């Protein structure tokens, strides 16, 4: 009987040892800091866990089943992989243990994929690959965190193998191999959306190596699954949430902030790129000059003909993903976790470069081995710092978010729904229904993510749209983030404060009893009104084609003032600076005829506005109004008689002198 070679078995044990050792290096100190609870250094991990629980309960792609479909999950695949474990009994904090085992299995699988890619290279290239892939502590922090990064790494390895097979398969199998590569690339994007920057170059490589098959057909097979995924996701988002984009993109991308000027947006992107380059691609890789070893190995892989087809897309993908995440306003926070996909791509390319150099005689072996050792060892100086940060961050999440969840779960009577300005541990560990004010969790088709970008009063306007029985009765928020919300709608009943905060939004998380009594009952119509627009209610604004002056204007504001009946009422509005205007379109159902425009504003000094109605490009009516100083404690209403108003007409209100604070517009008829 022929004996099996011992080397593959020893290599697999070596790769597993490296993976487990790296994981334990983070998890053991974390366990010591959390008092024995499995360390989770990011609240976002629990968002994935909540999506996994919903999937296990038969509600895939829902943060909470009762809230409906949500586009707030940054990874479509990861919760689906976690769901079976939850279904089999690994629930609550126990799901973190499964996530850790899954991370180890995924990283071991990445090592095995790279071993297959290094077939034909000297044995040393294969043996140094695991420590090279896992030698960057910043990346290991993300792998060990419970996020989707390790799953992404495993899919990355499988995808690269599929691309190589697509180029080497015989003609009769090449088409199916191309489609397989395309499916793996789509799974990459479904796991981390910014890796679309890698999917496209890989598809070009597959088409380039099609040989006897048609280029366009090959490109369709290689990129088609990604295109179908993105199109289906956008269509589902539009159908179920009223938004095409993902909630995370709407909330976090620089381009969705309506108040930023192009210069402000460019400055924000430059800040992100500068921080990412310095922290994630210099210091994290060992610091100059040692960090240059990885980039030299990547360059060697790109230059070499044998590895160019994979290394060039990896380099372009790493750069493209970096540019995409630099558009994220949170890119330089949360320990630079958004740089993890780019770092993983570079390390795989570097391993390919090391293998290629080692093929080239004794001199090449020495250079390749030397650069690989530097690339694997130099970043290690950051292990103590990253391990300490991981442990402290895990203690923060356990001491604040998980503790708040436990306190809420013990409350009697049981809270109906908790309002949050984070969407992770509190709803998952407490088991309570919740509403995420940042919009990442979603609530049916109400655009909470976009409202949170416009301003907190816009979020409250959407709460006003919720049935009274579904509005949150408890808030667990950072008052330093949203002080006016806490003052206006909450009564403090508990708080949790942590010391040595390195990861939470603030050291103090406060629990409030919510009071929404100042909100109008949704759907209540004003007598005589044939149409109305509630300014800063994004649903109403969209229905009326509302346009506010932007950028650097149209800021959302809110107030609780006395109405004509003496009742304290909340309303949100926008500030229109002097010399600028807001516009809205009247509902199509309004028949032609005279009408009165009733304009709500708050108290303050004198202001002059100009009110115009337009039909097409023609101005039908124009009138200037001088409003006197007004009571600061009460709503003020200005009326304008319009001789002719019809559905589809535009109303333009210009601030002539001083800023116009616009809250509500009614179109009245007897």
- Residue 608 three-state SS: strand
Whether the predicted pLDDT of 311 surpasses 70: yes
**566 pLDDT tier (thresholds 50, 70, 90):** very high
**357 pLDDT tier (thresholds 50, 70, 90):** very high
Report pLDDT digits (tens) over 119-133: 999 999 999 999 999
- The pLDDT, as a whole number, for residue 3 is 59
- The pLDDT, as a whole number, for residue 662 is 97
Strand stretches in 254-297, DSSP E? none
Whether the predicted pLDDT of 12 surpasses 80: yes
- DSSP label of 397: H
The pTM assigned to this predicted structure is: 0.94
- The pLDDT, as a whole number, for residue 4 is 66
Report pLDDT digits (tens) over 605-664: 999 999 999 998 899 999 999 999 999 999 999 999 999 999 999 999 999 999 999 999
Beta bridge partner(s), residue 528: none
Assess contact for 449 and 439: CB atoms under 8 A: yes
d(C-alpha 67, C-alpha 432), whole Å: 12
The answer to whether the Cα torsion of 310, 311, 312, 318 is positive or negative is positive
Whether the predicted pLDDT of 284 surpasses 60: yes
Whether the predicted pLDDT of 594 surpasses 90: yes
- The pLDDT, as a whole number, for residue 214 is 87
Region 167-180 average pLDDT = 92
Task: Classify the phi-psi angles of 658: left when phi > 0, otherwise alpha if psi is within -120 to 50, otherwise beta.
Answer: left
Q: Where are the domains of the chain?
A: 6-39+91-245+254-377, 399-514, 529-668
- The pLDDT, as a whole number, for residue 533 is 95
Mean pLDDT of the chain: 95
Report pLDDT digits (tens) over 457-502: 999 999 999 999 999 999 999 999 999 999 999 999 999 999 999 9
d(C-alpha 428, C-alpha 629), whole Å: 50
- Residue 427 three-state SS: helix
Strands of the sheet with 664-668, listed across from one edge: 529-534, 664-668, 593-601, 636-645
Region 376-396 average pLDDT = 97
CATH superfamily of 529-668: Galactose-binding domain-like (2.60.120.260)
Q: Which two tokens stand for residue 151?
A: 């799953």
Report pLDDT digits (tens) over 184-224: 999 999 999 999 999 999 999 999 998 878 899 999 999 99
Place of tokens 């609870």: 37
What is the DSSP track for 461-502?
HHHHHS-GGGS-SEEEE-TTTSHHHHHHHEEEEEEEE-SS-S
Residues 6+ apart with CB under 8 A from 55: 61, 62, 79, 80, 83
- DSSP label of 433: -
Q: Which helix (H) or strand (E) holds 418?
A: strand 418-420
Region 223-239 average pLDDT = 95
Q: Which two tokens stand for residue 631?
A: 């009571």
d(C-alpha 69, C-alpha 72), whole Å: 9
Report pLDDT digits (tens) over 599-621: 999 999 999 999 999 998 899 99
Report pLDDT digits (tens) over 90-114: 999 999 999 999 999 999 999 999 9
Report pLDDT digits (tens) over 29-56: 999 999 999 999 999 999 999 999 999 9
Assess contact for 596 and 662: CB atoms under 8 A: no
- The pLDDT, as a whole number, for residue 2 is 56
> How does strand 568-576 pair with strand 660-662?
antiparallel
d(C-alpha 302, C-alpha 315), whole Å: 8
- The pLDDT, as a whole number, for residue 298 is 97
Report pLDDT digits (tens) over 511-551: 999 999 999 887 777 888 999 999 999 999 999 999 999 99
Residues 6+ apart with CB under 8 A from 624: 608, 609, 610, 611, 656
Place of tokens 């627009």: 533
Task: Classify the phi-psi angles of 535: left when phi > 0, otherwise alpha if psi is within -120 to 50, otherwise beta.
Answer: beta
Query: Quick one: how many helices (H) and strands (E) in the chain?
Result: 23, 16
Q: What percentage of the chain has pLDDT greater than the value 90?
A: 91
């Amino acid at each position: 009987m022929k004996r099996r070679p011992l080397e593959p078995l020893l290599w697999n044990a070596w790769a597993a040892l490296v993976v487990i050792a790296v994981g334990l290096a983070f998890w053991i100190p974390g366990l010591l800091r959390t008092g024995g609870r499995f360390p989770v250094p990011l609240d976002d991990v629990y968002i994935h866990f909540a999506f996994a629980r919903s999937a296990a309960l038969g509600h895939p792609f829902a943060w909470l089943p009762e809230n409906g479909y949500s586009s707030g999950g940054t990874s479509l695949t990861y919760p689906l992989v976690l769901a079976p474990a939850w279904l089999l009994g690994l629930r609550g904090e126990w799901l973190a243990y499964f996530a850790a085992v899954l991370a180890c299995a995924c990283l071991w699988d990445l090592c095995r994929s790279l071993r297959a890619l290094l077939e034909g290279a000297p044995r040393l290239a294969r043996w140094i690959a695991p420590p090279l892939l896992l030698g960057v502590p910043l990346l290991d922090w993300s792998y060990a965190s419970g996020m989707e990064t390790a799953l992404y790494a495993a899919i990355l390895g499988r995808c690269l193998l599929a691309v190589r097979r697509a180029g080497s398969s015989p003609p009769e199998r090449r088409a199916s191999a191309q489609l397989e590569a395309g499916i793996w690339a789509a799974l990459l994007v479904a796991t981390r959306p910014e890796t679309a920057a890698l999917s496209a170059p890989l598809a070009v490589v597959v088409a380039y190596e099609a040989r006897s098959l048609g280029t366009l057909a090959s490109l369709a097979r290689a990129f088609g699954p990604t295109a179908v995924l993105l199109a289906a996701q956008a269509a589902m988002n539009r159908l179920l949430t009223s938004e095409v984009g993902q909630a995370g993109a709407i909330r976090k991308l620089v381009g969705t902030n309506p108040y930023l000027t192009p210069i402000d947006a460019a400055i924000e992107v430059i800040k992100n790129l500068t921080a990412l380059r310095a922290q994630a691609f210099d210091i994290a890789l060992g610091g100059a000059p040692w960090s240059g070893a990885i980039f030299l190995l990547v360059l060697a892989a790109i230059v070499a003909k044998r590895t160019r087809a994979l290394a060039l897309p990896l380099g372009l993908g790493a750069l493209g993903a970096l540019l995409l995440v630099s558009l994220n306003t949170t890119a330089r926070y949360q320990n630079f976790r958004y740089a993890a996909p780019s770092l993983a791509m570079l390390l795989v390319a570097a391993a390919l470069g090391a293998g290629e150099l080692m093929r080239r005689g004794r001199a090449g072996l020495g250079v390749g081995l030397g650069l690989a050792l530097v690339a694997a060892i130099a970043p290690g100086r950051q292990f103590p710092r990253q391990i300490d940060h991981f442990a402290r961050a895990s203690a923060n999440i356990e001491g604040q978010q998980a503790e708040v969840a436990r306190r809420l779960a013990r409350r009697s009577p049981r809270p109906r729904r908790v309002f949050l300005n984070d969407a992770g541990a509190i709803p998952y560990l407490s088991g309570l229904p919740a509403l995420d004010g940042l919009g990442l969790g979603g609530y049916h088709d109400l655009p909470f993510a976009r409202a949170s970008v416009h301003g907190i009063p816009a979020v409250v306007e959407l709460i006003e749209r919720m049935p009274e029985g579904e509005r949150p009765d408890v808030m667990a928020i950072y008052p330093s983030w949203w002080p006016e919300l806490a003052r206006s709608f909450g009564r403090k009943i508990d708080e949790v404060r942590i010391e040595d905060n390195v990861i939470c939004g603030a050291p103090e998380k406060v629990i409030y009893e919510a009071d929404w009594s100042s909100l109008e009952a949704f759907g209540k119509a004003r007598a005589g009104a044939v149409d109305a627009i509630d300014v800063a209610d994004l649903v109403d604004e969209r229905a009326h084609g509302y346009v506010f002056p932007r950028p650097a204007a149209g800021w959302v504001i809110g107030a609780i003032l006395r109405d004509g009946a003496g009742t304290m009422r909340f309303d949100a509005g926008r500030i229109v600076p002097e010399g600028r205007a807001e516009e809205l379109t009247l509902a199509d159902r309004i028949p032609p005829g005279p009408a009165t425009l009733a304009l709500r504003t708050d108290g303050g000094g004198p202001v002059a506005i100009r009110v115009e109605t337009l039909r097409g490009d023609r101005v039908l009516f124009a009138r200037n109004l001088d409003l006197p100083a007004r009571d600061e404690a009460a709503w003020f209403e200005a009326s304008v008689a319009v001789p002719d108003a019809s559905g589809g007409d535009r109303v333009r209100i210009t601030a002539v002198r001083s800023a116009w604070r616009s809250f509500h517009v009614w179109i009245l008829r007897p």
